[in-house]
Structures are given as C-alpha cells and as structure tokens.
Amino acid sequence: MRNRIVFCGMILIASIYFTANRGLAAEDDARAVGVALVEFHDALNTLFTGDAGPMKEVWSHAEDVTYMGPSGSFQVGWTRIEPYWDKQAAAKLGGKVEPKDIYFAVSPQLSVAHYYEKGENIIDGKSQPVSIRTTTVFRKENGRWKVIGHHTDTLAYLKK
C-alpha cells in the first residue's frame, strides 16, 4: 500500500511539473509570436521605403507558404513570393501601417494572428488610408517563428 501511495504521489508531482512547464512554454510561444508579428510589421514598413531585405528575413523560405496581399494577387511558394517582395519594395509606397486589435491562436508549432492593419501609404504624394482585415500565419522553424501565410483585404489603389 505504501508503494502505491508513493507511486501515486510521484505521478501527481510529475503531472504538476509537466503541466506547469507546458504552461510556461505556451506563454513563451505566445510572447515569441507577438515579437514575430512586430518584426513582420517593422519589415513591412521598411519595405515601404524600398528595402525588401527584412521582409525576406521574417518569411519561411518553404514552398508551402502563401501570400494574398492588398493588391489582390495570390502567390504560393517562396520562389514566387520572394520576387513579389522585390516588386513591392521597388514601388516605395511610403507611409506606415500597424497591427491593431490583435487576436492570437498559438500552438507549439503553428500560430495565427487575426487583426486590422491601420495606417497609410503615400501614392503620388497623396496619403492613402489603410484599414484592412489581416491574417498572418506563423510556423516555428528551427526555434524561430516565421511567416508562412499573409492574407489581407484588397486596397483599391493597389489592385492590379
């Protein structure tokens, strides 16, 4: 009987330990995904100045990634998305957008952020408002959260 009590006690302690550590890992992942979203928007705002480098850094380079941006285009795979970032950088849209009203769904390997992108672009010297619904999907790759999908509403001034 004593062995059974000790064994049950060990299982209880182990389950508390693993539950607590899983909770910490989940909190760490949630914070890391939040940081990844900030990095994505920093890269996006840098892209508006003509530099695509940071945007290429935050994205996964896998062939299952997708991009459906405000111009209405749809690219699948890094080999199709990477040149698109160069094209967008060359447009030098200017302005700045920020994520607002963010909702995260975070799991150990895959996370989704739903939010609004709000701000402005500068087209032909004129401010154009940005207020679009956005979903950005992240995957943990080699311990880092990378963008694997980005989908927004369209903006009339960017439609192809």
What residue spans define the domains of the chain?
2-152
Contact 99, 115 (CB under 8 A): yes
Is the domain covering 2-152 a CATH 3.40.50.300 domain? no
Q: Given strand 66-68, what is the order of strands in its sheet?
A: 75-76, 66-68, 144-152, 126-141, 110-123, 96-106
> For residue 59, what pLDDT is reported?
98
Low-confidence ranges of the chain (pLDDT < 50): 3-4, 6-21
> For residue 12, what pLDDT is reported?
41
pTM of this structure? 0.82
Q: Where are the beta strands (DSSP E) in the chain?
A: 66-68, 75-76, 96-106, 110-123, 126-141, 144-152
> For residue 112, what pLDDT is reported?
97
Contact 99, 37 (CB under 8 A): yes
> For residue 160, what pLDDT is reported?
59
> For residue 4, what pLDDT is reported?
46
Determine phi and psi for 11, rounding to 5 degrees: -65, -40
> For residue 18, what pLDDT is reported?
40
> For residue 24, what pLDDT is reported?
58
